[in-house]
Amino acid sequence: MKLKPILIALGVIIALLVVAKLTGLIGGKKAEKVTIEKAADRKVIETVTASGKIQPETEVKLSSEVSGEVTELLVKEGDVVKKGQLLCKVRPDVLKSGFDRANASYSSQKASVASSQQMLTQNQGNMVNAEATYKRNVELFNKKVISASEFDAGKAAYLTAKTNLGRAKADLTAAKFMLEQSGATVQEAGANLAKATIFAPVDGVISKLSVELGDRILGTAQMAGTEIMRISNLSSMEVNVDVNENDINRVNVGDSAIIEVDAFADK
């Protein structure tokens, strides 16, 4: 008789457990907290992150047009330079010897012109004398004062003097022409030699120096040549970044940008 109340109590407990299980009081997940806000219009900012390089907007790479040895280097990295300032000099052995040969040739041609001028003056004098003698001989021959052989000799001397004068004039003209050509060669050789002197083409800062005193460099006449230095205008900088192809369609002209530099992370 005592067993019946116990069974009834167990039945009630089981029933309560079943009800609790079905209602989630037992074995159910814990309730999650949910943040609720009132709906409103807001501006959504979409960002694209990319890495790149900050560089001067204007940067000039300097090379020599001629090959040779760097004999003077008057600047160092970080120096501020002005347009027209002398930066360095290169000793182009081949061009220097060519310039010396051109000068020697010019001096020789000047001497040739002087000699030709002297010969012309001499032949002009001979021509004057020969012409006067010939005219006098014509009168004397007509008066039968001199013989035909004497007249012919005077005439031959006159014609020879005339020929020599013409030749002297031609020689002087040729010598002057050669002098002009030689002078042009000197100018060209001098201009080529001047290319061995490097001046600053713009104002700026020496941002990179690629050579040292005594280095041998290759001129731009032979392929690209050796880069000697770079001059940058640091007052105007630009940022060159590589944007991923998946993000490029999200970038538009006029978008604002925030630039962070590792060296100035706190700014």
Instruction: Please report the pLDDT score of residue 225 as a whole number.
Output: 84
Q: Which tokens go with 128? A: 């004057």
Tell me, what amino acid is at 222? Q
Average pLDDT, the chain: 84
- 24 versus 245: the higher-pLDDT residue is 245
Q: What is the pLDDT of residues 50-104, one digit of tens each?
A: 888 888 888 899 998 888 889 999 999 999 999 999 999 988 767 778 888 899 9
Q: How far apart are CA 218 and CA 104, in angstroms?
A: 28
Instruction: Please report the pLDDT score of residue 24 as a whole number.
Output: 57
| Range list of β-strands (E), the chain | 52-56, 59-63, 68-73, 80-81, 86-91, 197-199, 204-209, 216-217, 227-232, 237-241
Please check the confidence at residue 155 and state whether its pLDDT lies above 70. Answer: yes
Instruction: Please report the pLDDT score of residue 222 as a whole number.
Output: 64
Please check the confidence at residue 25 and state whether its pLDDT lies above 70. Answer: no
Region 149-173 average pLDDT: 93
Instruction: Please report the pLDDT score of residue 31 as a whole number.
Output: 57
Region 39-57 average pLDDT: 78
Query: Which residue in 236, 214, 235, 208 sits closest to 63, CA to CA?
Result: 208
Q: What is the residue-wise DSSP string for 111-150?
A: HHHHHHHHHHHHHHHHHHHHHHHHHHHHHHHHTT-S-HHH
Region 136-143 average pLDDT: 90
The winner for highest mean pLDDT among 22-26, 161-165, 240-244 is 161-165
- 27 versus 244: the higher-pLDDT residue is 244
**Domains identified in the chain and CATH numbers:** 45-92+197-267 (2.40.50.100), 93-195 (1.10.287.620)
Q: Which tokens go with 250? A: 């999200």
Region 36-49 average pLDDT: 74
Rounded to two decimals, the pTM is 0.53
Please check the confidence at residue 209 and state whether its pLDDT lies above 90. Answer: yes
Question: pLDDT grade, residue 177 (50/70/90)?
Answer: very high
Region 29-44 average pLDDT: 68
Question: pLDDT grade, residue 176 (50/70/90)?
Answer: very high
Cα distances (Å, whole numbers) of residue 20 to 10, 12, 14, 31: 15, 12, 10, 16
* % residues pLDDT > 70 (the chain): 84
The winner for highest mean pLDDT among 17-26, 30-39, 69-78, 217-226 is 69-78
- 263 versus 154: the higher-pLDDT residue is 154
Instruction: Please report the pLDDT score of residue 228 as a whole number.
Output: 93
- 213 versus 196: the higher-pLDDT residue is 213
Query: Which residue in 163, 99, 106 sits closest to 130, CA to CA?
Result: 163
